[in-house]
Structure 1
């Protein structure tokens, strides 16, 4: 009987997700907000709570995050990763300063104390790699020129978690400096070892994994990824970081074959991740903390857009690509919930959990919208501003009076940062192979 109920509940969830995905496709909209709302409806305090299949969905959600980051890693080579990290580390510093400080300040203003301030700083700092990976795929932007900038910031954040999580765990547990330092050293050593192996021995790993039989290739890649992710998490390193580095290590035919085989699995389990997030949110806990969560979300959405804009500008991306980069970074997700969960378990501040949940729910819904509309809204605002300047002065703006007429020798094709003209980096279908396989 238990098995029958499990199959009924799980089948109903998958069917509902499929119908919501169709609706989102017709509306030209990311399905992520609809998946989250479905989770709220089926979760604790929702319209139709589910209990039997929740544990199964939880495991599927973990696999979903791992597959999302694995597929991101398959888009780029190890040399791409190293060069991007070397050039984009200032963006990581700016990202931390602009987005962690508002959370820390909010906790101190509400009188929650310094430990809660460090926790809330992490909640507001880290973008959701899983949500952003899904959105970039849905929008067909994996091959865009601003995408490596976005991925560099996400990787820097994920790697920073290898330092932050041991620190916050030690603070919450009240352990001494010696125990905390040992945990941090183990985490950093594990992250560095995985990165070294991915960069130095990536081709050997690819030859070991590669197979002409799709079944064997799928089993080996999936097993290796989950194994490395589990070991990384056991060593206090993010499982997402481990999965991403496995994707970085694979190249050539192994990566191309794995990409095509894993894409359907990624879509299935990623949808389960977003549903699971909603399942664990009690709608009744949100209203009391809604106003501070909205204020914090508004501030940190702006700071994330500013971070992406600055990083893309520094990388030489055009104005359109800068706005797209900033809008794509807004969503928060899995890491923010993990950080808040640690604090709730430790009993630091009872209001921190509901606040973090409401905050993440707001931005995980707003994030796909800003990713889609930040650039066109900025362009519209610029046009309106120029019109107002023209009307106030009574004469056309200087840039409008002398348009540069195209000549026969001047191409009028879209610029290199537009999705339809990325040159040697072809735009793929969502989940396509992107820059790495060009």
Structure 2
């Protein structure tokens, strides 16, 4: 009875603190992820108020948080979108992987952590935060800009790559041999391909089967199906996150929209718990020793992400202003990096990997919105291109409305409607 009361007090305190931190982040107009991570550090081992009775429940909530994060991400895309992006934007995706994964792998090897840690850290530095970037695009009024489809294409390819990457990492961390790892990868690729095929050809039938006019029934069916598939995927060592992502892709139309609306509050709740849980397993005292490598990685991968976005936008025919905006917007890291690091931390691969990932994400989740806003004007000033821009009204989106957050007195040809 006493432990039950302690659990309610501890978990209630966590949720209350998270709610207040979320409100603070919204007031300051930036992502709450760094605040959630800091809260986890405060509640974890070596922190100010270590947890006791509620830690096991928080761990279960964290697993549900990862599943819901990936489900909601899958609901954003259709199978047709993914196939189209693969055909047209795969060169940008390959460049993105090469430029941004290699620094992480190199850093792990330089630190003497071994090849498995190199694969893990490569993923952490590779994947941008879709959630943070989507919010930044909305806040800056850039959803109608010409470079925005390029940005979204890169994010789609990164997210789809996770369907292959996560099973590989899971197999490596589990210590399976080459043969078992190859089987796991083959199963993951086969399942992903089958789901895409079913979604393209029979997606409407599947959505009709899941659909319900009653929000309660729709919520129960979608959530139950997602957890069931995620559990089966985890049992097959394919990764629960990948299973949830594929369920999201398979659902489309009104069902996807309804499920997105119903699940958004649950996703936000359990995602916050997930970030706290990751912080719980990171000793704050372990961060200072890895702060310098984390800062070096942040600087290098900021430049490589900007280069990736610039090249991809140039390939799409976007002018200089839009190229710099695309690069600066891609800098933020967040949920996926923590998911990958969380897998490594729970497997006990290296005690310094968790603190390094925490410091790295904290730096870039704060820096990302700043680079999205300031990369263009700073780059154009440094390259002497600002004088070539025509003085006029504020930049406009493709719909002709002024772009929020844009500099007054400057008109950007990449933000107006296509000729």
Match of 1:87 in 2: 88
Match of 2:414 in 1: none
Match of 2:397 in 1: 415
Q: 1:121-142: per-residue Cα shift (whole Å, max 9, x none)?
A: 3332233456556766777877
Question: What TM-score do you get using the length of structure 1 for normalisation?
Answer: 0.78
Asked whether 1:252 is paired with 2:287, we answer no
RMSD value, Cα: 3.5
Sort the Cα spacing of 1:383 and 1:250 in 2 relative to 1 into closer, same or farther, 3 A: same
Gaps of 5+ in 2: 405-419
The residue matched to 1:286 in structure 2 has which SS? Answer: helix
Cα distance in 1, alignment partners of residues 227 and 61 from structure 2: 12
Cα distance in 2, alignment partners of residues 44 and 418 from structure 1: 53
Match of 2:238 in 1: 237
Within a 5 Å distance, the mapping from 1:422-437 to structure 2 comes to none
Q: Could you tell me how far 1:207 is from its partner in structure 2?
A: 0.5
Cα distance in 1, alignment partners of residues 322 and 260 from structure 2: 26
Q: 1:216-249: per-residue Cα shift (whole Å, max 9, x none)?
A: 1111111122222333333333433332332232
Match of 1:261 in 2: 262
Match of 1:374 among 371, 376, 383: 371
Sort the Cα spacing of 1:373 and 1:120 in 2 relative to 1 into closer, same or farther, 3 A: closer
Q: Could you tell me how far 1:144 is from its partner in structure 2?
A: 6.6
Sort the Cα spacing of 1:253 and 1:143 in 2 relative to 1 into closer, same or farther, 3 A: farther
Cα distance in 1, alignment partners of residues 171 and 245 from structure 2: 26
Asked whether 1:56 is paired with 2:57, we answer yes
The residue matched to 2:189 in structure 1 has which SS? Answer: helix
Q: 1:347-386: per-residue Cα shift (whole Å, max 9, x none)?
A: 76554444344333433x33xx42x232431243256448
Cα distance in 2, alignment partners of residues 384 and 358 from structure 1: 31
Q: Could you tell me how far 1:311 is from its partner in structure 2?
A: 2.6
Within a 5 Å distance, the mapping from 1:6-17 to structure 2 comes to 6-17=7-18
Cα distance in 2, alignment partners of residues 186 and 75 from structure 1: 24
Number of equivalent positions: 403
Verify the 8 A CA contact 1:198 1:245 in the aligned structure 2: no
Cα distance in 2, alignment partners of residues 133 and 242 from structure 1: 23
Deviates more, 1:135-144 or 1:150-159: 135-144
Match of 2:291 in 1: 290
Match of 2:183 in 1: 182
Verify the 8 A CA contact 1:305 1:327 in the aligned structure 2: yes
Deviates more, 1:327-336 or 1:128-137: 128-137
Question: What TM-score do you get using the length of structure 2 for normalisation?
Answer: 0.81
Q: Could you tell me how far 1:76 is from its partner in structure 2?
A: 3.3
Asked whether 1:192 is paired with 2:193, we answer yes
Match of 1:360 in 2: 361
